[in-house]
Structure 1
């Protein structure tokens, strides 16, 4: 496909839609509308290599059936929404090559975070501008097989040894020494 323009409200009103892959449509631009949260039957959302920008809407955390979420190679900016932690069925999360910043959100009180993604097997946050400490709460993610946090700006002094408790882990791209803040 060679789609152009922004994501249509028509697509966002398809409440029974289960699979949406609009990858490799560089002409598809704009912000991801908060109405994306209305697609409550969606199990797969793939928007790789489009031209989306702006924040990832908090409403993405309403997609309770979501198993696969790939938003890589866009220009999403701002923090990772903590609401992604509500996606209890999520197995694949790829936010690679965006302009996301802030810390990796983890649970605190009534606020969810990515440490709640206990079914996750693939987590990629590389090539963003994430910073701060790498949260030790990520040791809860015992199903993770691949974890890539490289090419960000995490604090080197705050790297916990939690990765040794991730028994399923087969691939770890932790921190790029050229991007450590000391």
Structure 2
């Protein structure tokens, strides 16, 4: 087992930070990519009234921010951070791919929210463990990590929105799942 001082590095930081950075970038890509399409998909393809689509969107978003409370508890008590990230990522990907099939729309939203609950708190909480307590790079690591959040959130609506509008909703949702 490697100690913190003997870890492999990438650009002056532990290699694990780049793994966390990329994981969060792609998670945010999937989240914001799907969100970019969600209300338009409900109103244009599923013929849901704007008010109802907004209510569904709001309920979904609330669940995405609520489920990490339980996911974090499960990770801390039974699953562990690594296992929770894997379970959460796989669950979210399953939910995004379920969006390809119209009859699975509501279950897909629930599956994505549940997966997010496992994924989100367990990923972020691993950053500090990459550094010794006296390592000043630990504080900068959060800035690097959140650059991944912003990168994924910026690129996703452009890519998924383009695919959804140009080639069909299901292509946009599939790209969010990838």
> Larger strand proportion, structure 1 or 2?
1
> Larger helix proportion, structure 1 or 2?
2
- Looking at CA atoms only, which structure, 1 or 2, has the larger radius of gyration? 2
TM-score normalised by structure 2 residue count: 0.20
TM-score normalised by structure 1 residue count: 0.20
**Higher normalized contact order (CA 8 Å, seq sep 6+, divided by chain length):** 2
